[in-house]
């Protein structure tokens, strides 16, 4: 969950500016920011399509929404890194973060985190009140409910964390249409249901690191067999979602159904016979491609 790149020793050819930027992008988990902006933009774009408002005539809303969303996500990730700086050294995936290496001090992390969140929320509130409130809910659910409370205490931490990950498309939609019709909530639901199988697969691959850090992820507490069963159940829950989104057209319903069935079949193949880590890796990679294709497809197909 986040930028897993390890920061290596700086050689003589690395410029200070480049190194500082690299540390900053690691701190804000730029990968998470970018992926969430895709779903934010999808919500934004579809709201324009459904309300028949003009995209190019509302560029102020577009910019405020995307930049504001990027800022609150980046700020929340920085605060998450501050909270986790005691356990991140234990995990291979996170031990290179600047909060671990000491390249960015704790006080600076807090300043960066709260500043980004504050500026981001201001931008979202400049679109409308509903968008700003949803932004606050997203920050609170990630920083407090997930990072500070459930992550180290409850096996349900992944489900709690899914709330914040499902908020971006709602933010995008609310900026254009604060009434939030059924379609907006379907985007939220898809994102909420997508996250457990995605992160459970990641947790299977990193199970020993989570165990060493005493993080009660599902495979650590319940084992691989239970985790695999939960992954399949969550994928099954995605199957009916396209049929509540027929307003996007039959082409989308067919695309989403193929992706959903494909994920299920992909999971069932090798469920009993394949090496657990290899199976988890396949499911993890599929989940990434699933999300990219599905949300990109929504944008493209809505034009036709």
pLDDT score recorded for residue 101: 87
CA atoms of 257 and 273, how far apart (whole Å): 26
Q: What is the pLDDT of residues 231-258, one digit of tens each?
A: 999 999 999 999 999 999 999 999 999 9
Q: What is the pLDDT of residues 77-130, one digit of tens each?
A: 999 999 999 888 888 878 888 888 888 888 999 999 999 999 999 999 999 999
The half-sphere exposure of 149 on its side-chain side, counting CA atoms within 13 A, is 11
DSSP H helices, the chain, are: 16-27, 30-51, 59-83, 98-101, 106-127, 129-140, 157-166, 168-176, 182-205, 207-212, 218-222, 224-238, 250-268, 276-303
Which residue bears the tokens 């995936």? Answer: 93
The confidence band for 273, taking pLDDT boundaries of 50, 70 and 90, is confident
- Spatial neighbors of 69 by CB under 8 A, at least 6 apart, are 36, 37, 40, 120, 124, 135, 168, 171, 172
pTM score, whole prediction: 0.91
The confidence band for 3, taking pLDDT boundaries of 50, 70 and 90, is very low
Q: What is the pLDDT of residues 276-297, one digit of tens each?
A: 999 999 999 999 999 999 999 9
Domain coordinates in residue numbering, the chain: 18-179, 181-304
Average pLDDT of the chain?
Answer: 92
- Of the listed ranges 83-87, 140-144, 263-267, the least confidently predicted one is 83-87
Pick the CATH number of 18-179 from 1.10.3660.10, 1.10.357.140, 3.40.50.2300, 1.20.58.1610: 1.10.357.140
CA atoms of 44 and 51, how far apart (whole Å): 11
């Amino acid at each position: 969950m986040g930028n897993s790149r390890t920061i290596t020793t700086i050689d003589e050819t690395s410029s200070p500016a480049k190194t500082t930027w690299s540390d900053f992008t690691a701190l804000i988990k730029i990968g998470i920011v970018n992926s969430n902006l895709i779903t934010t933009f999808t919500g934004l774009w579809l709201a324009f399509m459904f309300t028949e408002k003009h995209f190019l005539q509302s560029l102020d809303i577009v910019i405020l929404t995307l930049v504001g969303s990027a800022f609150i996500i980046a700020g929340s990730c920085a605060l998450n890194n501050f909270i986790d700086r005691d356990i991140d050294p234990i995990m291979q995936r996170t031990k290179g973060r600047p909060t671990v290496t000491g390249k960015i001090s704790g006080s600076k992390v807090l300043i960066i985190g709260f500043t980004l969140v504050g500026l981001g929320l201001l931008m979202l509130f400049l679109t409308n009140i509903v968008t700003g409130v949803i932004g606050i809910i997203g920050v609170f659910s990630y920083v407090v409910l997930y990072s500070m409370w459930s992550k180290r205490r409850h096996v349900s931490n992944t489900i709690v964390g899914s709330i914040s990950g499902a908020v971006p498309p709602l933010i995008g939609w609310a900026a254009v249409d604060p009434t939030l019709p059924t379609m907006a909530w379907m985007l939220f639901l898809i994102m909420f249901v997508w996250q457990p199988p995605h992160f459970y697969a990641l947790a299977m691959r990193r199970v020993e690191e989570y165990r060493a850090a005493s993080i009660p992820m599902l495979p650590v507490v319940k084992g691989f067999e239970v985790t695999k069963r939960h992954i399949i159940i969550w994928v099954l829950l995605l199957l009916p979602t396209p049929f509540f989104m027929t307003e996007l057209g039959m082409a989308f319903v067919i695309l989403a159904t193929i992706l959903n069935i494909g994920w299920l079949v992909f999971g069932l193949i090798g469920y009993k016979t394949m090496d657990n880590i290899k199976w988890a890796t396949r499911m993890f990679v599929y989940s990434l491609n699933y999300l990219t294709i599905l949300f990109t497809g929504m944008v493209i197909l809505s034009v036709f």
